[in-house]
A = this chain, B = another copy of it.
């Protein structure tokens, strides 16, 4: 039987890889509604010269534009990395229905830090394809250090 969370997380991982090919930190995010992907994004901070251009931020902006609504209550975000506090704040404002993330970010993650910044409407699942989602980032930084 297909594990839907893993299937969608693989789509987010594909986005992360596209980011990595552009020399961005490889984080990817997608948003689905009724099993349909309505937004997908990867980190673009370097390409756009914009520290706010995280994958999750762009996926939220894109999904809201697609739906014509500031609220994503019936949507699920799949993100390869635990959203940082900025992205956790954006998810709060969007009132997203569900967040599924892969690797945890103990240092800058918006949820590990116990900011309690979770909208009452949002359910959270963590650790989906955790190893793959973490490995793509650690490999990226290993290569960075090697060529420094």
How many copies of this protein are present in the complex? 2
Give, as a whole number of angstroms, the nearest-CB distance from A85 to chain B: 4
Give the residue of B64, B85, B93 whose beta carbon is less than 8 angstroms from that of A49. B64
Q: Does A37 contact B (CB under 8 A)?
A: no
Considering the chains assembled together, what is the distance between the CA atoms of A60 and B49 in angstroms? Answer: 11
Chain B residue with the shortest CB-CB distance to A54: B93
Give the residue of B49, B52, B87, B90 whose beta carbon is less than 8 angstroms from that of A69. B49
Is B85 touching A117 in the complex (CB atoms < 8 A)?
A: yes
CB neighbours (8 Å) of A92 from chain B are 85-86
CB neighbours (8 Å) of A65 from chain B are 49-50
CB neighbours (8 Å) of A113 from chain B are 115
